[in-house]
A and B are shown apart, each in its own frame.
Chain A
């Protein structure tokens, strides 16, 4: 049945369809295409990803920083989200503001704030030196420590909002039942809260990991060129050295890794439910 009304509905989807195909999907497909044809061709381009020492170093840094960011973020975010569902309404409002303000503030403002705090003449080092806790400034930024601090600070609000939504959906009567059956608080947490929040933890970790792997701004600003992650390395290939073969093959590899992570995640029913729920 294709009435006039249904045809009209179809026309309405055309501008968005054309836009995302021509100006999103094709440019990305072109990156994949270029990774096969630029430079000395596909085999050389992809072989280099496994043989180049520079690439190996960047991949190692990216994985180390992304995984530690994800783990630290999830611990902090879970504690905050778990605390938030046990707060009074008034406290929760304040807590939500303290999460949403950093969430909405520009990533550049946040990176700049951390540089101000962490650099050697910064707020933290000069404060510690003036109270005599240290005599030499500690190197806290323009290295992995600084990048990880900045990234965790960027990711925690995301993770809190995802986990908080998940924890509020948990049926509190199960918790009450466990308590009334005499479970100790530790067992209530380990055997009720934690298992029931696993889908939320999985979704949030996946998002944080994927965001971290491809993150450019915070690592670039807080790494100061010394802690090089994959996105910044790609950007250097384009802007400074004009190595399109390397830039496109690394981009393609990153896209494939993200795609595999998503595909893997969608195999679990809990994840499918979490993603399916948001699509309509």
Chain B
């Protein structure tokens, strides 16, 4: 076997694996336009009636969508604010306290969420906040802090602290330095942090599954119930909507980055 055939063979395996990763999720798109009333590939033509059933008030998809959007926006605002304040504070001042808080804050990235879920069921039931917006918000903020913090801290790492020194030596008050020197310079990090916090909340299911029931149902919670109760094509429709939205964002981002890189190299 020549070196060339071997390389081709290796690349064929690589693309095969990539297809196995990518193609299975696409199956929800053809299934969502099936003309049958049960989960199947379209047989004699396509139909969009399952998308129509998403707006059926009896099925509760619309309120769950609204609840998820509400929780995700509130989470993004709170988590970005808290993470930004902490990131800046820890950037200026080191010591045991910021290190300990950072360690705790990043723990949800690795500690299995089921353990946190068990703890929060007890805590929220004690204060009668199970199945409420506020209960969900608190949990989602805690779970979004790691990603928001990492995005903001990455942005801060590129900030030249001589700017802060200059502002201090010119007599700027701390709040002015924070608001007019630091924050504007980490705006991209804040935006990335808010976006990641939004996505974390929007997608969160493990802990939400335990702390919600009927009153405050988020979209993932609604999808989960639907998968376990009755698998119907409406589920494929909502899955296809989520998949296409994700793909649109990622493809747009890839294209924009490509354009930026080309424009940069042309200079």
Those of B66-86 within 8 Å (CB) of chain A? 82-83, 85-86
* Contact B25–A216 (Cβ < 8 Å): no
A8 in contact (CB, < 8 A): yes
Q: Is the CB of B227 within 8 A of A15?
A: no
Note all chain B residues with C-beta closer than 8 A to A235.
Answer: 114, 117, 209-210
Whether B85 pairs with A13 at a CB distance below 8 angstroms is yes
Contact count band on A: 35 or more
Select A213's contact among B14, B21, B112, B141, beta carbons within 8 Å.
B112
Q: Which 3 A-B pairs have the closest CB atoms?
A: A214-B112, A83-B14, A27-B119
**Digit string of B90-117 for contact with A (CB within 8 Å is 1, else 0)?**
1011000110011011111011111111
Is A93 in contact with B254, judged by CB distance below 8 angstroms?
A: yes
Q: Does B60 contact A (CB under 8 A)?
A: no
For B90, list chain A residues within 8 Å (CB). Answer: 9, 13
With an 8 A cutoff between CB atoms, is B258 at the interface?
yes
Q: Is the CB of A210 within 8 A of B27?
A: no
Is there an interface contact between A20 and B101, defined as CB atoms closer than 8 Å? yes
Q: Is the interface of A mostly helix, strand, loop or mixed?
A: helix
Instruction: List which B21-75 residues lie within 8 A (CB) of chain A.
Output: 21-22, 24-28, 31, 39-41
Nearest to A4 among chain B residues (CB) is: B174
B102: chain A residues within 8 A (beta carbon):
279
Interface size on B, residues (CB 8 A): 91
| Contact between A13 and B97, CB atoms less than 8 A apart | yes
| Pairwise interchain contact B118-A108, C-beta atoms closer than 8 A | no
Report the separation of the CA atoms of residues A110 and B6 in the bound assembly, to the nearest whole angstrom: 33
B189 CB–A CB distance under 8 Å: no
Q: A46-101: which residues lie under 8 A (CB-CB) from chain B?
A: 76, 79-80, 82-84, 86-87, 93, 95-101
CB nearest to B261 among chain A residues: A89
**For A17, what are the chain B residues with a Cβ–Cβ distance below 8 Å?**
86, 97, 101
20 A-B residue pairings within 8 Å (CB atoms): A9-B93, A11-B89, A34-B122, A76-B17, A83-B15, A97-B254, A99-B18, A101-B25, A101-B246, A102-B22, A104-B250, A106-B223, A109-B223, A110-B24, A111-B227, A112-B28, A153-B21, A185-B3, A216-B206, A279-B106
Query: Cβ of B13 < 8 Å from any Cβ of A?
Result: yes
Partner of A109, one of B25, B40, B107, B177: B25
Instruction: Please give the residue numbers on chain B whose beta carbons come within 8 Å of chain A beta carbons, in ascending order.
Output: 3, 6, 10-11, 13-15, 17-19, 21-22, 24-28, 31, 39-41, 82-83, 85-86, 88-90, 92-93, 97-98, 101-102, 104-108, 110-123, 138-139, 141-142, 145, 149-150, 153, 157, 168, 174-175, 177-178, 199, 203, 205-206, 209-210, 220, 223-224, 227-228, 231, 235-236, 239, 242-243, 246-247, 249-251, 254, 258
Of all chain A residues, the one with the shortest Cβ separation from B146 is A20
Report whether A210 and B6 are in contact in the complex, using a CB–CB cutoff of 8 Å: no
Residues of B within 8 A of A27 (CB): 116, 119-120, 122-123
- A25-B104 contact in complex given A216-B113, A254-B114, C-beta closer than 8 Å: yes
Residues of B within 8 A of A210 (CB): 110, 112
- The reply to whether A10 and B89 contact each other, CB–CB distance below 8 Å, is yes
Give the residues in chain B near A216, CB-CB below 8 Å. Answer: 113-114, 206, 209
Interface hub of A34, A185, A216 (most chain B Cβ within 10 A): A216
CB atoms of B89 and A9 under 8 A apart = yes
Chain A residues in 8 Å Cβ range of B139: 23
